[in-house]
Structures are given as C-alpha cells and as structure tokens.
Amino acid sequence: MKLTLKVWRQKNGSTPGELKTYPADHVSPDMSFLEMLDEVNQALIMQGEDPIAFDHDCREGICGMCSLMINGVAHGPKEAITTCQLHMRSFKDGETITIEPWRAKPFPIIKDLVVDRESFDRIIQAGGFISASTGSAPDGNAIPVAKPDADKSMDAAACIGCGACAAACPNGSAMLFTAAKVAHLGHLPQGQAERHQRVVNMVATQDAEGFGNCTNIGECAAVCPKEISLDTIAMLNRDLVIAALKGIEPVVK
C-alpha cells in the first residue's frame, strides 16, 4: 500500500505547529497503525530528520497511552479499539491520512502528537480511590457483590484513561472519563463511604483543570475504545445532585 500522511509537527508547547506531508510507500495491510508510523520514522531517521513523536506503550489496547486523532476521529475509523489495535487494512491504497494530537486546553502538546494528560491524573487523585485499612489481603468473598453490580462496575472500570472522550468532545469535556471512575467505584459496596464526596471532588477538579461542560452530545461514547456508556454520566449526575442536596462541599488540595 502507498499512503500519504499529513502529520501534525510541533517542536514543543511554546512553538506553533503545522501539518506536514510525508509519503508512506511500503505499508503492509497487516501492519498496525503504530508499526506504520515506526516505518515512516525509520525512513526519517535514515534521512537525518527528526522522527515523529507519538505516545504508545502496551500496543495491545490496555494501557491508554496511544492517542491519535486519525482523519478527525479519535483512535481512527474502527469502533471500540485503540490506535494501537487499528490495522492498515482499514485504509485504502493511495489514501491520504491526517494525524493530529488530542486537542483540548487541559491536554497541552509536549511534542508533535504527544500530549500531557496529567490533568486526568489529578482528577483521579481528587476522588478515584477508596480509603481502606491496609494489612493482610481481605478474604475475597467477605463482601458480597451482586452480579449485576459487579458487571456494571467492571464495564466502567474498563476505562484506560486514554483521553479520546475529551479530545472528541466538541465541548472539550472529560465527563465520560470522570463518570467511568465514579461509576466504577459507585457500583461497589467498597465505594459507598466516599461516594458523594468523590463526585463533588472529581467534578470540581475537572472544572478547575479547564475541561468543558458536557451537553450530552455523545461523541465521547462513540469514540471510546472501551465502550464506556453515557449511563455512567447519568450516574455521575445523579450522585452530584444527591451530594448537592446533602450540602457536600468539595475538598480538594
């Protein structure tokens, strides 16, 4: 396959970037999208040019590092997979592919296609945990969890924190991510003690980090590689309303 790539190149956060065109002439349909970029980078290095910087780690859809806007869609044209799970057979020979970084104010560009997603870490730190006494591991069956609750919690826990939701959202909102964390813990008995404080803290942090406001458009769920559903957002909203009725104030460092 022969492809033309238009790739966002940007030296660092303080210099303006631009889309640059590169040929990719030796692409096998069996390559993953990231392998294809590796090949292009190899050629760039041979020519003495700066290779294209992009994030990746596990390359099997579990770490959430890969983060490319491919032809304007987060993680590319296939549903429910990450960029690293995307194969070149999903594209046509001769196609031009535009590759951009996640774009949202709270995801500043570090270099080229690499963005800083520490804002997500700070949202997690604000409430994405439970407080438990340490010591020997508790008996696995000591706290019974109903199967439907366990399933819903697991579905939400599948979120890998990639940031596609916020990058795809026309409002730059991180609601699907935050809601996945709220639903993950909120469906479990262990998550109940801090349930309402959690949602207040996480929403306040999300606002403070500069994310936008959810208008229930659903672009996030449509691109989420882990198929987190809008139901989690309804659950976050419900918890926030109850927290407000209880008069719970955010406690954020």
Site residues (vs another protein, CB under 8 A): 8, 19, 69, 71-73, 98, 100, 103-106, 168, 170-173, 200, 203-204, 206-207, 210-219, 221-223, 229-231, 233-241, 243-250
Radius of gyration (C-alpha) of the chain in whole angstroms: 20
Cα–Cα dist 207/203, whole Å: 6
Q: How far is the CB of 240 from ligand SF4 (least distance, A)?
A: 18
Beta bridge partners of 7: 20, 99
Cα–Cα dist 221/231, whole Å: 10
Q: How far is the CB of 250 from ligand SF4 (least distance, A)?
A: 22
Dihedral, CA of residue 5, residue 11, residue 15 and residue 17, to nearest 10: 0
Q: How far is the CB of 207 from another protein (least distance, A)?
A: 5
Instruction: Find the DSSP H helices in the chain.
Output: 33-46, 118-127, 147-157, 164-168, 175-186, 195-208, 219-223, 231-245
Q: Where do we find the tokens 């672009």?
A: 219
Cα–Cα dist 83/86, whole Å: 5
Cα–Cα dist 245/229, whole Å: 26
Cα–Cα dist 166/41, whole Å: 28
Token pair for residue 169? Answer: 């959202």
Cα–Cα dist 197/170, whole Å: 28
State yes or no: residue 227 binds ligand FES (CB under 6 A): no
> Which of 177, 188, 219, 233 is the binder for ligand SF4 (CB under 6 A)?
177
**Contact of residue 84 among another protein, ligand SF4, ligand FES, none (CB under 5-8 Å per partner type):** ligand FES
State yes or no: residue 160 binds ligand SF4 (CB under 6 A): yes
Query: What is the amino acid identity at position 78?
Result: K
**Contact of residue 247 among ligand SF4, ligand FES, another protein, none (CB under 5-8 Å per partner type):** another protein
State yes or no: residue 172 binds ligand SF4 (CB under 6 A): no
Site for ligand FES in 30-59 (CB under 6 A): 56-59
Q: How far is the CB of 63 from ligand FES (least distance, A)?
A: 3
Q: Which is nearer to another protein, 40 or 182 (CB)?
A: 182
Nearest to 50 by CA among 82, 17, 28: 17
Q: Which is nearer to ligand FES, 63 or 208 (CB)?
A: 63
Binding mask 61-80 for ligand FES (x = CB under 6 A): xxxxxx--------------
Q: How far is the CB of 202 from ligand FES (least distance, A)?
A: 23
Q: How far is the CB of 178 from another protein (least distance, A)?
A: 9
| Interacting residues with ligand SF4 (CB under 6 A) | 159-165, 176-177, 180, 224-226, 228
| Interacting residues with ligand FES (CB under 6 A) | 56-59, 61-66, 82-84
